[in-house]
């Protein structure tokens, strides 16, 4: 299995809802990432987990709460989002330090989130 | 953080060779250069990675000069399906890697 699987593919939620995005990889990768991407913009890093520990939080608002239950799973819990949080949320994984010694990202196909 | 600069957009025609250049002046000794392709509403897809000189795979070539401060992605004989955004990335620092603006490639019939 050489894929990163994200569910759901599409999500519409109200501003008072609580929902979760799920990401799964079975490649034994040591790092997992959440990115947010707005239309016609590059992906923007949100969180990084390295060996199941949160190593980077790019000053993301607390209404986004990441969780890494085990080395294969990464969740993003959403609560009280705003319409401006509507975006494509991408999960990625990497076996080693990305861009070093030949390692790269494997991205999922994303969750298209719409906040109404 | 290692920063990259690419042209914002490029147009080409089907069957042509397309070269996209990326500037990365502060690349570090251990950094590799990696190119990704992204179609709308999909995650970026790995195309090619290299450290120096030339790397070729079944979809692209990557040319890296001796000083490694730039690189060129070469797509031979492009088709309409190569219309996408192409990102050049260099190495991670403290688990962070930042995407530049990318190059929006538009292939015309």
What is d(CA B89, CA A35) in angstroms, rounded to the nearest whole number?
15
Tens digit of pLDDT for each residue in A57-78? Answer: 989 999 999 999 999 999 999 9
Cβ proximity of B7 and B21 under 8 Å: yes
Residue A92 contacts B, CB cutoff 8 Å: yes
Whether B81 contacts chain A with CB within 8 A:
no
SS3 content of chain B, % helix, strand, coil (to 5): 5, 50, 50
Q: Over the stretch B58-88, which tens digit does the pLDDT of each residue have?
A: 999 999 999 999 999 999 999 999 999 999 9
* Average pLDDT of chain A, as a whole number: 92
Task: Quick: pLDDT tens for B22-61.
Answer: 999 988 888 889 999 999 989 999 999 999 999 999 999 9
Identify the pLDDT of residue B29. 85
Q: Which residues contact A76 (CB under 8 A, 6 or more apart)?
A: A20, A21, A23, A34, A46, A47, A64, A65, A66, A67, A89
Q: B59 CA to chain A: closest CA distance, Å? A: 17
- Structure tokens, B34: 């990696």
**Res. B95 pLDDT band, cuts 50 70 90:** low
pLDDT per residue as tens digits for the range A88-106:
999 999 987 665 666 788 9
CB pair distance less than 8 Å for B92 and A99: yes
- Average the pLDDT over A36-40 and give the result: 95
E strands, B24-94, in order: 33-38, 45-50, 53-56, 61-64, 70-75, 84-89
- C-alpha to C-alpha distance for B34 and B55, rounded to whole angstroms: 11
- Provide the CB-side half-sphere exposure for B45 (13 A, CA): 14
């Amino acid at each position: 299995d050489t894929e990163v699987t994200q569910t759901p593919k599409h999500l519409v939620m109200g501003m008072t809802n609580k929902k979760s995005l799920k990401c799964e990889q079975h490649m034994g990768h040591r790092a997992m990432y959440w990115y947010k991407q707005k239309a016609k913009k590059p992906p923007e890093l949100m969180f990084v987990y390295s060996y199941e520990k949160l190593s980077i939080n790019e000053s993301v608002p607390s209404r986004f709460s990441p969780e890494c239950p085990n080395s294969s799973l990464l969740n993003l819990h959403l609560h009280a989002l705003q319409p401006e949080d509507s975006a494509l949320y991408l999960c990625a994984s990497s076996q080693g330090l990305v861009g070093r010694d030949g390692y790269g990202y494997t991205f999922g196909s994303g969750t298209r989130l719409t906040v109404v | 953080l290692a920063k990259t600069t690419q042209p914002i957009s490029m147009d080409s025609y089907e069957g042509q060779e397309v070269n996209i250049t990326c500037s990365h002046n502060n690349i570090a000794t251990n950094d590799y250069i990696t190119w990704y392709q992204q179609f709308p509403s999909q995650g970026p897809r790995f195309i090619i990675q290299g450290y120096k000189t030339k790397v070729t795979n079944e979809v692209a070539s990557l040319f890296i000069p001796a000083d490694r401060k730039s690189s060129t992605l070469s797509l031979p004989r492009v088709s309409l399906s190569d219309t996408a955004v192409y990102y050049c990335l260099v190495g991670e620092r403290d688990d962070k890697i930042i995407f530049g603006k990318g190059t929006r490639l538009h292939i015309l019939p």
